[in-house]
């Protein structure tokens, strides 16, 4: 995500920290999603606890979308 923020900040001519703060304002958890967050969802879906989940699009984005 840092690459996305850096590229967008450069394109819009704003500071990366300001761009990051703008992203965080739109995320209800007020923190960036990490690779571990994605991995934990994958592990859940592959575990017996996720056995009844099928045909779903699950966003792991802190409610950004």
pLDDT in tens, 14-51: 999 999 998 898 888 889 889 999 999 999 999 999 99
> Contact 33/61 with Cβ under 8 angstroms?
yes
> How high is the pLDDT of residue 44?
97
Please state the length of the chain: 65
- Is pTM beyond 0.75 here? no
CA 5 to CA 8: how far, in whole Å? Answer: 5
Domains of the chain: which residue ranges? 2-50
| DSSP-H helix ranges across 1-57 | 2-12, 16-25, 35-46
- Determine the 3-state secondary structure of 3 from DSSP: helix
CA 6 to CA 49: how far, in whole Å? Answer: 37
């Amino acid at each position: 995500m840092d690459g996305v923020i850096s590229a967008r900040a450069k394109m819009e001519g704003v500071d990366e920290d300001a761009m990051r703060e703008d992203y965080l304002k739109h995320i209800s958890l007020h923190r960036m999603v990490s690779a571990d967050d994605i991995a934990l969802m994958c592990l859940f879906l592959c575990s017996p606890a996720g056995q009844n989940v099928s045909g779903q699009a699950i966003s792991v984005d802190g409610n950004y979308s």
